[in-house]
Amino acid sequence: MQATFFKNAAIETISNPIAIPKVQTVNIQFTPDAANGFTGVVIIDLAAVAQVKTPWYSIATIGMNPWISVATIQFSKQDRVINFNLFFDLPYKWIRARVTDTRFGSIAAYVAY
Per-residue pLDDT of the chain (113 residues; tens, 9 = 90+): 999 999 999 999 999 999 998 899 999 999 999 999 999 999 999 998 888 876 555 555 566 788 999 999 999 999 999 999 999 987 899 999 999 999 999 999 999 99
pLDDT, position 59:
52
Calculated CA dihedral for residues 18, 97, 50, 89, nearest 10 degrees = 100
CATH of the domain at 73: 2.60.120.260
CA separation for the pair 75, 77 (Å, rounded): 6
Q: Please give the tally of structural domains in the chain.
A: 1
Report if pTM > 0.95: no
pLDDT, position 68:
93
pLDDT, position 11:
92
Range of the domain at 28: 2-112
